């Protein structure tokens, strides 16, 4: 596993209006959502980065009004998969 260190100035960390114990977890969620929204990460990888389940990620997407990246091609692939596994 690679480790990436994101340097955030102390004054910005201090300005985050969250309990100190929640900052790291919330920043991971926000980063996962933002990268998914931009199309940089798949939803599965964004969930992993956020450290939450698929259902929790879907709920956050709903709350933030983030649209799913789901194309007609994705739908056709899902239908084909479902039919082949009946």
What is the C-alpha to C-alpha distance for residues 37 and 34, in angstroms, rounded to an integer? Answer: 5
Domain boundaries in the chain?
A: 20-84
Using an 8 Å Cβ cutoff, are 36 and 42 in contact? yes
Distances (CA, A) of 44 to 15, 32, 51, 69: 30, 10, 11, 12
Instruction: Using DSSP, state whether 3 is helix, strand or coil.
Output: coil
pLDDT tens digits for range 17-72 = 999 999 999 999 999 999 999 999 989 999 999 999 999 999 999 999 999 988 88
pLDDT tens digits for range 13-29 = 999 999 999 999 999 99
């Amino acid at each position: 596993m690679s480790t990436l260190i994101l340097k955030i100035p102390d004054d910005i960390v201090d300005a985050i209006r969250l309990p100190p114990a929640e900052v790291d977890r919330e920043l991971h969620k926000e980063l996962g959502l933002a990268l998914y929204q931009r199309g940089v990460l798949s939803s599965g990888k964004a969930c992993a980065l956020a450290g939450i389940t698929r259902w929790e990620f879907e709920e956050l997407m709903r709350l933030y009004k983030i649209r799913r990246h789901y194309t007609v091609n994705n739908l056709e692939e899902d239908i084909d998969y479902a039919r082949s596994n009946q």
